[in-house]
Copies of this chain bind each other. A is one copy, B any other.
Amino acid sequence: MPDHENPTVPAPAEAPRPGDTYVQSFARGLQVIRSFSAQAPQQTLSEVAQRTGLTRAGARRILLTLEGLGYVRSNGRQFSLAPRILDLGFAYLSSLPLWNLAEPVMERLVEDVKESCSAAVLDGADVVYVLRIPTHKIMSINLGIGSRLPAYCTSMGRTLLAELDGRTLDQLLQDVPPVRRTERTIVDTAALKEQLVKVREQGWCLVDQELEEGLVSLSAPIRDRAGRAIAAMNISGQVNRTSPAYMVENFLPKLRAAAQDISRMLQHKS
């Protein structure tokens, strides 16, 4: 039984209130799922209520709902997420037309260049990783599927930002202004937009240590039949192993060929 709660007195049913619509209820349910993390893998009712801003009664109702549906487990006092949660993300990943097509092409590319290769899509001001083939180096960069990075200072992000129309881009840069992550990060909006024009013209993007010291990344777009860049793929490396010049000379032709292969398969598919 949950702590601080008299099990003989049921929590009062929440009366419908103005604004407490279905949308909000659903949003809160998803918020409860997202309140679990590496820092909070197990939570009590009180902790969930505190992290989400819900009342204890509200948090309890949602946790029991999620438990009833198999998305949450509890030992009475502690709640944790259940593996069924992955079905939701799996629905998304398997609905991406590029997902199965891209994997073998990317595996061959990793085998060839011996550096990690990823694919990502744009979500607001972030890129979200949807596929990642790590190289088997101990120092490989730890970025799993679903990871987010800011778009403005990453090669895949710039590849995708370069495709936006001017108004959408301006709005986005206004809502989430660039911040300095390293000494090299371009934070000036005009300079960033110049870079994006260049990226669009040349059809690829290199970002040299603007996200993190030592990290260099090279990216190219994956295009659907209508020519839209639905995703970007990249090769990332450490600057002390693979200089930017080395990457452009040795990896760029292979990366672009792989991105074009995937685009072509995608265009012939649907």
Contacts and interface: CB of A to CB of B under 8 A. Distances in A.
A144 interface: yes
Contact of A36 (B68, B70, B71, B95): B95
A42 B147 CA distance: 23
Contact of A30 (B62, B71, B97, B104): B71
A2 B82 CA distance: 35
Q: A34, A70, A86, A96: which has the most chain B beta carbons within 10 Å? A: A86
A246 interface: no
A88 B30 CA distance: 8
B83 A121 contact: yes
Nearest to A138: B104
Contact of A38 (B61, B89, B95, B140): B95
Given A92-B81, A107-B134, A22 B23 contact: no
A205 B30 CA distance: 37
Contacts of A96: 41
B26 A69 contact: yes
Interface string A70-106: 1100000000111111111111111111011001100
Contacts of A140: 107
Nearest to A124: B70
A29 interface: yes
A62 B27 CA distance: 11
Nearest to A25: B22
A266 to B, nearest CB: 12
B38 A92 contact: no
A7 interface: no
Contacts of A95: 36-38, 40-42, 80-81
A142 B92 contact: no
Contacts of A104: 138
Contact of A65 (B26, B36, B61): B26
Contacts of A10: none
A146 interface: yes
The 9 closest A-B pairs by CB, nearest first: A89-B89, A86-B146, A90-B146, A41-B95, A85-B92, A83-B128, A81-B92, A83-B123, A111-B136
Given A38-B95, A86-B145, A145-B145, 18 more contacts: A16-B16, A23-B65, A26-B66, A35-B91, A37-B94, A37-B95, A82-B123, A83-B130, A84-B123, A84-B128, A85-B91, A86-B89, A86-B93, A87-B146, A89-B89, A90-B145, A90-B146, A107-B138
